[in-house]
Amino acid sequence: KAGVTQTPRYLIKTRGQQVTLSCSPISGHRSVSWYQQTPGQGLQFLFEYFSETQRNKGNFPGRFSGRQFSNSRSEMNVSTLELGDSALYLCASSDRDRDNEKLFFGSGTQLSVL
Amino acid sequence: QKEVEQDPGPLSVPEGAIVSLNCTYSNSAFQYFMWYRQYSRKGPELLMYTYSSGNKEDGRFTAQVDKSSKYISLFIRDSQPSDSATYLCAMSAPGGFKTIFGAGTRLFVKA
């Protein structure tokens, strides 16, 4: 079974630009979560989607948004990028419809904002 | 106060040592307790998964959950240089659709 795939692997943007990151979950997983990881703050929860519905959201500004498609693939978007948005963005899929909290992570997208 | 507290380390031990990693938490609704291992430039991978209280053993790894003290531990026996990584505790509540992570403890096992 293929793992969680995130694209692109690396991204360099400038302040004010916007960015879209993509995540393909493990086949059969309908829950996709997004996390931001920085050295100072660790792993911070962004949002979780299940069957195209956002079920929970972390404490991030509205510039961070996401969506999930009918095939469970997910995208997250960050608009008006700030220097502080530089981080590793991780996507995780899960079998949550069976009350299973095991998360399977992709390798992440390393975003650098200059 | 953070929901999950974990000492970031770093923790340095000689090969063969027993390693003890710990986390405390404040939310009594947490029922799922996990440990993830993360190597440099990789995503976290699930190491141990426990529901509610008790102990769980898998090879050289033992996870313990003490819900009365809101304290979880991961023990690594006969540590190897390949165990050098960041270890993250994680927890979630039923129906919460959100997993909270500790800051992660950086472990170095010296050959």
| pLDDT tens readout for residues B28-80 | 999 999 999 999 989 999 999 998 888 999 999 999 999 999 999 999 999 99
Hey, what are B106's tokens? Answer: 């950086």
> CB distance B41–A107 less than 8 Å?
yes
Smallest CA–CA distance, residue B46 to chain A, in Å, is 7
> Average model confidence (pLDDT) for chain A?
94
Rounded to an integer, the average pLDDT of A29-42 is: 93
Distance between CA atoms of A82 and B83, rounded to whole angstroms?
A: 36
- Of B4, B78, B69, the closest CA to residue B34 belongs to B4
Rounded to an integer, the average pLDDT of B82-110 is: 95
Query: Is there a contact between A89 and A111 (Cβ–Cβ < 8 Å)?
Result: yes
- Is the pLDDT at A98 greater than 70? The verdict is no
> CB distance B97–A99 less than 8 Å?
no
